[in-house]
Amino acid sequence: MTQRLAAAPRLWNGRRYYSLDCYLKQTFGEKLYKLSLNGGMTCPNRDGTVGVGGCIFCSEGGSGDFAADVRLSMDEQIQQAKQIVSRKFSGDRYIAYFQAFTNTYASVDYLERLFLPVIQRDDIAVLSIATRPDCLEDDKLRLLKRLNRLKPVWVELGLQTIHPSTAEWIRRGYSLTCYDKAVRQLREIGVTVIVHTILGLPQETHEDMLQTAAYVAQSGADGIKLQLLHILEGTPLAEQYRSGTVTVMTEEDYLTAVTDIVSILPPEMVIHRLTGDGDRQKLLAPRWSGDKRHVLNAIHQRLKARNLYQGIHWHENLPKSLQN
């Protein structure tokens, strides 16, 4: 990638990218922690509607391994989640994050009974809902619009990649046009859109990963999560890893990819995650990713060493028709 020299790096609270922490302090005047909740839903990629077994990398918890116990009432889940984050957070407002599985995969009546009491709580500042683009029917969009009038609603979409062959390999189960439609409709109702991508998917090149990030940036998404591919015990991916048919990124390759991606994202896009920390008890590979603090520090150091910051290459990333 061609790099142009910058006279001085752009900084967000001392960082070279627009982090979620920075956004929250600017928007709400304080840091907010997420309470990971379980709405008791499954996924169309598990129950046979789209597929069975879920995406190839997905654990039994449906990406909600850190969510509260589904057997508890929602009030009890919130209390349990507060206790989990209390070791590092002492505030009194939180983000209610429905994380496990697909959190709009139910009737709209069920969803209203689930979400409305939560968003009305004084201790909840934001309602964040992880779901799939193919589970956002019109009646659910109308519900999200109503909820968004009460407090901010974030919808997190698991895109992972824009490349059809990879999407088929990971058994995602919906098309890129479905994603485009979902983003457009969510933007029309004023809901914040956050998109999950995975770096290090097998057979994807460095350029493939940059193309996915560039597409997300130009699609209208407000935020992005950059997730390193984790091989977790108990997943179909773990079987392929053990057989030697799947390899994982080295730390060096990840640092190069993630810092290049940061440089092509628009400066107003919130980066919700630069890496992930899967359940260490289930993490098979890459083992180096288990030390999240080390990885984040290495990313910060690499951005500085390369004189990169968010948006430095955004203008180059724009379609030529939009460049000045």
Q: Rounded to whole angstroms, how far apart are CA atoms 189 and 208?
A: 31
Upstream peptide bond of 286 is cis (omega within 30 degrees of 0): yes
Average of per-residue pLDDT across 262-273: 97
pLDDT tens-digit profile of 185-199?
Answer: 999 999 999 999 999
Q: How confident is the model at residue 321 (pLDDT cuts 50, 70, 90)?
A: very low
Whether residue 298 is predicted with pLDDT greater than 80 in this model: the reply is: yes
Whether residue 202 is predicted with pLDDT greater than 50 in this model: the reply is: yes
The model's pTM: 0.92
94 forms bridges with which residues in the sheet?
Answer: 33, 124
Q: Where are the domains of the chain?
A: 20-317
Whether residue 322 is predicted with pLDDT greater than 50 in this model: the reply is: no
pLDDT tens-digit profile of 114-155?
Answer: 999 999 999 999 999 999 999 999 999 999 999 999 999 999
- Assigned CATH topology for domain 20-317: TIM Barrel (3.20.20)
Residue 3, pLDDT score: 44
pLDDT tens-digit profile of 3-23?
Answer: 444 446 788 988 999 999 999
Residue ranges of alpha helices (H) inside the chain are: 20-28, 74-85, 108-119, 138-150, 164-169, 176-188, 206-219, 236-243, 251-264, 292-305, 314-317
Which pairing describes strands 270-273 and 223-228: parallel, antiparallel, or unpaired? parallel
